[in-house]
Amino acid sequence: MKMLMAANWKMFKTREEAADCARGIENRLAGLPADREAVLFAPFTALAACAGALGPGARLRLGGQNCYPAAEGAFTGEISPGMLLDCACSHVLVGHSERRALLGESDAFVGKKCAFALNAGLNATLCIGETLKERDGGMLRPVLERQLAEGLSEVPDDVTSERLCIAYEPVWAIGTGRVAGTAEILEAHALVRAFLRKRFTARGNAMRILYGGSVKPDNAEQIINLDNVDGVLVGGASLQAETFARIALAGVSD
Ligand code: 13P
């Protein structure tokens, strides 16, 4: 299983800034080991510029931060998986907690996107995570299991393990500088792994589970060395090429 080191730029960067930063990351990824992949989830408006800056053989792959579960149609403001493929994307995020909280995306809707994106040919990363209130209320397990069950409900049983990732991002750790503790990460990731095994049998063992939430160059190596952590999804610290590249190369000696 290759580790997946992913950048989520959220709603940041003009086309020019994005092209510069994507190029800057790519230039620093020459030493990325063969057992790691790097993906950049850029804003829709910057995808074509990033694709142009990176060129065809780049190490850094591209992804959209969201998609709509239809091929085309009267869905004002939305973007289809086919449009992402057309912008050289191979990946897409679904169910980010910011979209769940700010835009009211339901588990069921996220599940439709996940299955539709996979069927359209994109690799999907399903984001899940509990709020602090849910965690403090002892709801970690039921919340994660509900998000997984509904988020994966329409995904074909025989999906290949490389094409589906889960990103565990505790909402209270996103953009707060408060990274989840080792025990908290281990507990949540073990729970996700058990769910994936049950849902996809042996293939569930090989699906990647990413951690996201205040990942920085100085904590990345420790996080990716934890059991059942198969990569990271980085927000704020991915906005500078040098910082993200240090995370992507965490623990790689030069
Ligand atoms: P931060 O790394 O800024 O905490 O964001 C995490 C995140 O939401 C990635 O999707």
pLDDT tens track for 158-175: 999 999 999 999 999 888
- Give the H or E element holding residue 202: helix 202-205
- Asked if residue 38 is part of any domain, the answer here is yes
Q: How confident is the model at residue 178 (pLDDT cuts 50, 70, 90)?
A: confident
Atom number of ligand 1 nearest to Cα 236: 3
Using CB atoms within 10 A of its CB, is residue 57 exposed (0-12), middle (13-18) or buried (19+)?
Answer: exposed
Asked if 78 contacts 98 with a C-beta cutoff of 8 angstroms, the reply is no
Total domains in the fold of the chain: 1
- Give the H or E element holding residue 231: strand 231-234
Q: Compute the distance from residue 8 Cα to the ligand 1 centre, in Å.
A: 7
Using CB atoms within 10 A of its CB, is residue 46 exposed (0-12), middle (13-18) or buried (19+)?
Answer: buried
- Asked if residue 253 is part of any domain, the answer here is no
For ligand 1, atom 9, name the residue with the nearest CA. 235
Q: Is the pLDDT assigned to residue 253 strictly greater than 90? A: no
Q: Compute the distance from residue 238 Cα to the ligand 1 centre, in Å.
A: 9
pTM for this prediction: 0.97
Find out whether the beta carbon of 37 lies less than 6 Å from any atom of ligand 1. Answer: no
- Asked if residue 67 is part of any domain, the answer here is yes
- Asked if residue 238 is part of any domain, the answer here is yes
Which positions are catalytic? 96, 169
Q: Is the pLDDT assigned to residue 254 strictly greater than 70? A: no
Three-class DSSP category at 90: strand
Q: Compute the distance from residue 152 Cα to the ligand 1 centre, in Å.
A: 22
- pLDDT (tens digit per residue) in 190-234: 999 999 999 999 999 999 999 999 999 999 999 999 999 999 999
Percent of the chain's residues with pLDDT above 90: 95
**Most ligand 1 atoms within 8 A of CB, residue of 5, 99, 214 to mutate:** 214
CATH number, domain at 232?
3.20.20.70
- Asked if residue 104 is part of any domain, the answer here is yes
Q: How confident is the model at residue 59 (pLDDT cuts 50, 70, 90)?
A: very high
Structural domain of 147: 3-248
